[in-house]
């Protein structure tokens, strides 16, 4: 594995963390929580954003307006099945998802959840580092590189790992502040 491949894998771990963070309900209306909702549309599971427009008119409200009014009940059912944590309100024309105020206790629970997500991302980064270090040691053992080259490679691997772990900590801190200040 090369350093470029290692860096790409580490970036993907961070992107995955950011995607997971988008789906966390932080008290503010965020259409990303509906990303995994699949609506049964003419017998085919279809992403909700392909059968309806999704808007956020207020900080704590998502409005879903289906393009085909006949599937409004299927959309409502799909949201309930997806268990996004909010009960949909159907008025026959649109579906509203109202986000309640978060209690201090719930905020702390959410912060624990995102902390675990960030720890999982750090573990992924460290596993990538371990694989790369093992690769460097085996290249040294097979006489493909010298001891100096192996040491330089290990230094570069460690610096990339430290930089990515710091990036994860920064992303976590930003999300924690967002959740605790809502």
Per-residue pLDDT at 117: 92
Nearest to 157 by CA among 178, 182, 126: 126
With a CB cutoff of 8 Å and minimum separation 6, the contacts of 54 are: 31, 34, 48, 62, 63, 64
Whole-number Å distance between alpha carbons of 149 and 141: 12
Residue 17 and residue 168 in contact, taking contact as beta carbons nearer than 8 Å: yes
Number of Cβ atoms within 10 Å of the Cβ of 94: 17
Per-residue pLDDT at 98: 84
Residue 145 binned pLDDT confidence (cut-offs 50, 70, 90): confident
pLDDT of residue 161 exceeding 90? yes
Q: Is 21 exposed, middle or buried (0-12, 13-18, 19+ CB in 10 A)?
A: buried
Residue 27 binned pLDDT confidence (cut-offs 50, 70, 90): low
pTM, full prediction:
0.70
Instruction: Give residue-wise pLDDT tens across range 105-140.
Output: 888 888 898 999 999 999 999 999 999 999 989 988
Percent of the chain with pLDDT over 70: 97
Residue 66 and residue 76 in contact, taking contact as beta carbons nearer than 8 Å: no
Whole-number Å distance between alpha carbons of 60 and 57: 8
Per-residue pLDDT at 52: 87
What angle is formed at CA 38 by the lines to CA 32 and CA 43, rounded to 5 degrees? 160
For the chain, which domains are there? 3-22+103-181 (1.10.132.20), 31-98 (3.30.1360.40)
Nearest to 8 by CA among 119, 120, 124, 151: 124
Whole-number Å distance between alpha carbons of 3 and 6: 5
Instruction: Give residue-wise pLDDT tens across range 64-78.
Output: 888 888 888 888 888
């Amino acid at each position: 594995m090369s350093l470029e491949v290692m860096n790409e894998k580490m970036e993907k771990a961070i992107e995955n963390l950011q995607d997971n963070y988008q789906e966390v309900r932080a008290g503010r209306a965020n259409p990303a929580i509906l990303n995994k909702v699949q609506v049964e549309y003419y017998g085919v599971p279809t992403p909700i954003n392909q059968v309806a427009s999704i808007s956020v008119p207020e900080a704590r409200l998502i409005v879903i307006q289906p393009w085909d009014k006949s599937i409004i009940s299927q959309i409502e059912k799909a949201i309930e099945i997806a268990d996004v944590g909010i009960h949909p309100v159907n008025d026959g024309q649109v579906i509203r998802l109202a986000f309640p105020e978060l209690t201090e206790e719930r905020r702390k629970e959410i912060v624990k959840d995102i902390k675990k997500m960030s720890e999982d991302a750090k573990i992924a980064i460290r596993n990538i580092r371990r694989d790369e270090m093992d690769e460097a040691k085996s290249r040294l053992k097979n006489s493909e590189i010298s001891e100096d080259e192996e040491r330089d490679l290990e230094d570069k691997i460690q610096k990339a790992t430290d930089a990515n772990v710091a990036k994860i900590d920064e992303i976590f801190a930003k999300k924690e502040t967002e959740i605790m200040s809502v």
